[in-house]
Amino acid sequence: MYEVEVKVPADHGDVRDALESAGAERGETVEQVDTYYDAPHRDFAETDEALRVRRVTDDEGERARITYKGPKVDSESKAREEVETGVEDGADAGAIFEGVGFTPAATVEKTRTYYAYDGYTVVLDDVSGLGQFVEVERESEDVEAAREGAFDVLRRLGLDPSDQIRASYLGLLLE
């Protein structure tokens, strides 16, 4: 299974209206604060790796996860090793990484609202310092068909797939 994800910058007002007229099912809204760490012994930007502490706040309180993303295995599929686990306390997890020599490099803060629409997850992201984005994503074995379907969802929401941005929010913030 591959995660197919298409992201465009877009004001949320019209998209929200379009989603609601189309009968999309609104899910939860969460706050996500991602802290990315630099390693003391190699340059993660160069090795294409990432170490992240994600703190998510929703109606039920705060929970946190730590994630390691390894370099892409091959350029075609964009597949990469990814390991993550929940942690009791995100601040303590960060302090442990700092204790052993890592340094916080960048923080990405966003408010995400999820919608379920026609087999896709549509995510309305409001990212501090970057603005509003819409992501359309699903898991699929057939990457091409899923991407075409995501483009179609964007069009039905009044958006233009050719506005697609491939950079991560972290990448955009560091630009």
Q: Is 41 in the site for a second copy (CB under 8 A)?
A: yes
Residue number with CB closer to a second copy (91 or 174): 91
Please confirm, yes or no, whether 120 is among the known catalytic residues. no
Per CB under 8 A, the list member of 25, 28, 62, 92 interacting with a second copy is: 92
**Minimum CB–partner distance for residue 79 and a second copy (Å):** 15
**Minimum CB–partner distance for residue 42 and a second copy (Å):** 7
**Minimum CB–partner distance for residue 30 and a second copy (Å):** 18
Query: What phi and psi values does residue 149 have, to the nearest 5 degrees?
Result: -60, -40
Which stretch in 22-30, 81-89, 106-114, 158-166 sits in contact with a second copy by CB under 8 A?
81-89
Residue 21: CB atoms within 10 A of its CB come to 9
Placement of tokens 């597949």 in the chain: 79
Residue number with CB closer to a second copy (81 or 163): 81
- Do residues 142 and 73 touch, judged by C-beta distance below 8 A? no
Q: Is 10 in the site for a second copy (CB under 8 A)?
A: no
3-state secondary structure of 152: helix
**Minimum CB–partner distance for residue 21 and a second copy (Å):** 39
Placement of tokens 């490099």 in the chain: 105
**Tokens standing for 25?**
């099912």
Q: Is 62 in the site for a second copy (CB under 8 A)?
A: no
**Tokens standing for 68?**
């390691």
Q: Is 34 in the site for a second copy (CB under 8 A)?
A: no
3-state secondary structure of 51: strand
Number of residues engaging a second copy in binding (CB under 8 A) = 26
Rounded-to-integer distance, Cα 35 and Cα 10, Å: 24
Strand blocks (E) in 61-166: 61-72, 80-87, 103-117, 120-127, 131-140
Which residues are known to be catalytic?
36
Residues within the interface to a second copy (CB under 8 A): 39-42, 49, 51, 66-68, 70, 81, 83-89, 92-93, 95-96, 99-102
